[in-house]
Amino acid sequence: MITLTARPVLHLNAETAEDLMVPNPVSVRANATVHEAMALLIDKGYSAAPVIDDTGKPVGVVSRSDILVHERQKIEHVEPEFYHRGELATGAGEPLSSGFQVERVDRAMVEDIMTPAVFAVPPDAHVSRVIEEMLTLKVHRLFVVGRDGVLVGVISVLDILRRLGP
């Protein structure tokens, strides 16, 4: 004999985007360096972050994938540079310690590599609209913007899953 047990019905314990969102999300300025964005994403354990302009309005998103693509496409043909030990000194003329290395710094900005698309909903958007937009757009996160266009929150797929319950 086979016994079937009913699975509990899950409900989304939220009604609006504001109920789902993480408020005041960590974001990256468009004029930040790629190195700064990479450090932020790694240090915080995020896969992506919203990119904002100087007024706090979202202008795109930068992800670890964007950074990896940038690093892969960055081609450097560096001519060998040789220095005599006596030529290496600080601005004050002090000799540099052993182990000193010259590093080429990537000056690329976040605005150069970000995905310049902003998929957003207002805080009062119904959860059904949030889910429909994420599915239709095939995105993992939506921005929540106020009437003034300023970023007030972010909703990820995980935020939705956290609000599921019996």
Q: Please state whether 79 falls in left (phi above 0), alpha (psi between -120 and 50) or beta.
A: beta
| Cβ neighbours around 27 below 10 Å, total | 19
- The tens digit of pLDDT for each residue in 58-117 reads 999 999 999 999 988 875 544 445 556 556 666 677 776 666 665 566 789 999 999 999
Tokens of 60: 């795109």
Dihedral sign from CA coordinates of 61, 64, 68, 74: positive
- Per DSSP, 22 falls in state E
Buried/exposed 73-112: b ≥16 CB within 10 Å, e otherwise: eeeeeeeeeeeeeeeeeeeeeeeeeeeeeeeeeeebbbbe
- The tens digit of pLDDT for each residue in 123-153 reads 999 999 999 999 999 999 999 999 999 999 9
Dihedral sign from CA coordinates of 121, 127, 132, 135: positive
Q: Give this prediction's pTM.
A: 0.76
* Topology adopted by domain 11-165: CBS-domain (3.10.580)
Tokens of 129: 């609209």
Write down the pLDDT at residue 89.
Answer: 67
Task: Give me the residue spans of the domains in the chain.
Answer: 11-165
Q: Which residue has the tokens 């992800």?
A: 63
